[in-house]
A and B are shown apart, each in its own frame.
Chain A
Amino acid sequence: MASYFVAVATISLIYMLLAMGLNLQYGHTGLINFGHVAFFAAGAYASALLSLAGWPLPASFLAAMIVAALLAWPIGLLALRLADDYLAIVTLGFSETLRIVLQEEGWLTGGVQGLPGIPGLFAGLGPDARGLATLGALALCNAVAFLLLRHLVRSPYGRLIRAIRDDQTAVQALGKSAARPKTRMFMLGAMLAGLAGAFYAHFIAFLSPEQFVPLVTFYVWIAVIIGGAGSMAGAAAGSVLLLAFLEGSRFLRDALPGVSEIQMASVRLAVVGLALILCMLYRPQGLFGRRKG
């Protein structure tokens, strides 16, 4: 019983890292990144492939973060030239292109056959202890990331970022460069996604390109918006809520005895959709966001 909740909590914390990274990119820096899953995938595959090649896990995790950040660099540079929805589709295209590359270049990634047998974390412990230890490691990473990001956001540098988000021209008129901070924030957010990817790869133990579709990016966006964009606590709360809805709806069956198992799948999706609509209608700023005018 506990093992299931540990698993749900683990996935929640993985999404939490993703959400905090996206929140940094969008909530604080104003970059509309619809390709977040690309950095998730890059981190996952990097860590999986390196660990299968014999690297120790801490090293492969670090490599995952670096690979994701490096991948984000050219995209971050693009962010300077493209506004809003234009950046959105380019980042989306980038994530789809990466997925196709992962799918086609099977000599490197295993392609559609996937990568099975990825080593798990804390291999020396028994199955229940491993689950708890992984959860603990994730919680630690999340806590560290949360504190660091909150510190960053409240620092003078953080104020500069928000000033760039709100009025880039004014900031540039004051002689400050807008390019480097934006790119750096983009890369930092991607690095968190890469870390999330590494945890994911060693948790699911099997990777295939079909796991890295744009729907994952949309889920992270939903977590950020429902939690309240611009608030790290919001990103954290949003991810927990997201998983609560996605998994909690599984237990609806007992409440609806007249509905067949097949139809329950539709009901689950309907619950998620309805929750989104109602949240936007009645609390659009999310849990922790401030209401904008």
Chain B
Amino acid sequence: MISAISLANYAVNGLVEGLLIALPALSLTLVMGIAGFANAATGDYMTVSAYAAVTMQKALAASLLLAAAGALAAGVALALLCHWLVFRPLARRPAVTSLVASIGVALLVRSVLTFFAGHDQQSIQTPLMRAWNFGGLRLLPTDLAVAGVAVGALLAVFALLHGTPIGRQMRAVADNPDLARASGIRARRVMLALWAMAGALCATGGVLYGVKAVIMPDLGWELLIAAFAAMVLGGIGNPGGAVLASVLLGLAQELSVPLVGPSYKIAVAFAALLLVLLARPRGLFGTALAAR
């Protein structure tokens, strides 16, 4: 029989992994809500940012903080570049066009990355610290840092969305693009803000992932499905929903390990998603969408 402490440990794992997924999930849902399509390149924005951090550490002997700042700049720059070159010209086309184009962007970004950086694994060097042990419940300082930064990033995004004029404009565009345009909100500024935010979220996620795990070229692509699932579970276009859903899916997944084992835990996450959608077909907080 499994002990409560053991369960608590699994729950902590799930919570941290969920918070990590919350960053790309939030990026996906913001882009979906405001720009209207699913950006399959989200994962590769994360990968590029992670590699940027590694490069700064190795080539410029930068501190962790400086490397993270470099990664942030890289992620934002990449997101804005792709918006300018690919997604802005496609703005008036059906959503599936942008989706397929974003798959193209993902492949192109990854291939440019591997052309120069190769296929070896990389690590972001951080000091190793022992876990704090509370009678069997282990908390890794690294995990706490990852969770803390993730929560901080999420709070910053929410503060921006609800407390600043540009944030209000972004939410207006998400709710009703035509009305927003009619009331004079300039799409261009909103889009720049959106992609900067999306890029920053991906960059944060990429660096945190790099600190916690190992960096390989497929890093972001592998996370994409989990992020997409979280976005849908939370209700497409709902930022709070995406974050909550990420955490819930992470918890469901890790808590199922003692029951079904590490391989089936991924199936459990999908089963949980399905059950919720059967009860609430628009996700936890989704509202009926206007015709797209």
Contact B264 A104 (CB under 8 A): yes
Contact B273 A93 (CB under 8 A): yes
What is the minimal beta-carbon distance from A287 to any residue of chain B, in angstroms? 14
- On chain B, the residues within 8 Å of A272 by CB distance are 104, 107
Closest 10 CB pairs of A and B: A276-B104, A273-B107, A93-B270, A273-B108, A269-B111, A270-B111, A266-B115, A277-B104, A280-B101, A97-B267
Contact B103 A270 (CB under 8 A): no
B64: Cβ under 8 A from any A Cβ: no
B206: Cβ under 8 A from any A Cβ: no
What is the minimal beta-carbon distance from A225 to any residue of chain B, in angstroms? 5
- On chain A, the residues within 8 Å of B98 by CB distance are 280
> How far is it, in angstroms, between the C-alpha of A275 and the C-alpha of B289 when the chains are bound?
32
What is the minimal beta-carbon distance from B282 to any residue of chain A, in angstroms? 7
Q: Which one of A86, A262, A284 lies within 8 Å of B97 (CB-CB)?
A: A284
Interface bits A71-94 vs B (CB < 8 Å: 1, else 0): 000000010011101101110111
A1: Cβ under 8 A from any B Cβ: no
Residue of A nearest to B44 (CB): A273
The segment out of A118-126, A128-136, A150-158, A214-222 that lies at the interface is A214-222
Contact A82 B281 (CB under 8 A): yes
What is the minimal beta-carbon distance from B57 to any residue of chain A, in angstroms? 23
Contact A276 B267 (CB under 8 A): no
- On chain A, the residues within 8 Å of B106 by CB distance are 273
- On chain A, the residues within 8 Å of B225 by CB distance are 92, 96, 214
B263: Cβ under 8 A from any A Cβ: yes
A281: Cβ under 8 A from any B Cβ: yes
Contacts A82-B281, A222-B103, A292-B94; is A277 near B108 (CB within 8 Å)?
yes
The A-contacting residues of B in range 223-275, CB under 8 angstroms, are: 225, 228-229, 232, 236, 263-264, 266-267, 269-271, 273-274
Q: Which one of A88, A221, A273, A281 lies within 8 Å of B111 (CB-CB)?
A: A273
Interface bits A164-197 vs B (CB < 8 Å: 1, else 0): 0000000000000000000000000000000000
User: Which residues on B are within 8 Å of A, measured CB to CB?
Assistant: 32, 38, 86, 89-90, 93-94, 96-98, 100-101, 103-112, 114-115, 118-119, 225, 228-229, 232, 236, 263-264, 266-267, 269-271, 273-274, 277-278, 281-283, 289
Contact A277 B112 (CB under 8 A): no
User: Which residues on A are within 8 Å of B, measured CB to CB?
Assistant: 78, 81-83, 85-86, 88-90, 92-94, 96-97, 100-101, 103-104, 214, 218, 221-222, 225-226, 229, 262-263, 265-270, 272-277, 279-281, 284, 292
Contact A280 B97 (CB under 8 A): yes
- On chain A, the residues within 8 Å of B282 by CB distance are 83, 86
Contact A81 B281 (CB under 8 A): yes
Q: Which one of B89, B110, B271 lies within 8 Å of A281 (CB-CB)?
A: B89
- On chain B, the residues within 8 Å of A274 by CB distance are 104, 108
What is the minimal beta-carbon distance from B216 to any residue of chain A, in angstroms? 14
Contact B236 A85 (CB under 8 A): yes
Residue of B nearest to A285 (CB): B97
Contacts A225-B96, A273-B104, A276-B103; is A89 near B86 (CB within 8 Å)?
no
> How far is it, in angstroms, between the C-alpha of A101 and the C-alpha of B98 when the chains are bound?
33
| Extra contacts besides A274-B104, A277-B104 (4): CB < 8 Å | A85-B236, A104-B263, A225-B96, A276-B104
Contact A273 B105 (CB under 8 A): yes
What is the minimal beta-carbon distance from B180 to any residue of chain A, in angstroms? 21
Contact B94 A222 (CB under 8 A): no
Contact A266 B266 (CB under 8 A): no
Contact A281 B90 (CB under 8 A): yes
What is the minimal beta-carbon distance from A5 to any residue of chain B, in angstroms? 25
- On chain B, the residues within 8 Å of A276 by CB distance are 100-101, 103-104, 107
A-B contact pairs, 12 of them (CB 8 A): A81-B281, A82-B281, A86-B281, A88-B232, A93-B273, A100-B266, A104-B263, A266-B114, A268-B111, A270-B111, A281-B101, A284-B93
Find the residue from A83, A85, A274 having the highest chain B CB count within 10 A: A85
> How far is it, in angstroms, between the C-alpha of A103 and the C-alpha of B261 when the chains are bound?
13
Contact B111 A96 (CB under 8 A): no
Contact A89 B107 (CB under 8 A): no
- On chain A, the residues within 8 Å of B90 by CB distance are 280-281, 284
What is the minimal beta-carbon distance from A239 to any residue of chain B, in angstroms? 15
Residue of B nearest to A268 (CB): B111
Contacts A82-B277, A267-B115, A277-B108; is A225 near B267 (CB within 8 Å)?
no
What is the minimal beta-carbon distance from B72 to any residue of chain A, in angstroms? 24
> How far is it, in angstroms, between the C-alpha of A92 and the C-alpha of B96 when the chains are bound?
16
What is the minimal beta-carbon distance from A257 to any residue of chain B, in angstroms? 16
Residue of A nearest to B236 (CB): A85
Contact A225 B264 (CB under 8 A): no
> How far is it, in angstroms, between the C-alpha of A281 and the C-alpha of B225 when the chains are bound?
25
- On chain A, the residues within 8 Å of B271 by CB distance are 93, 97
What is the minimal beta-carbon distance from A246 to any residue of chain B, in angstroms? 11
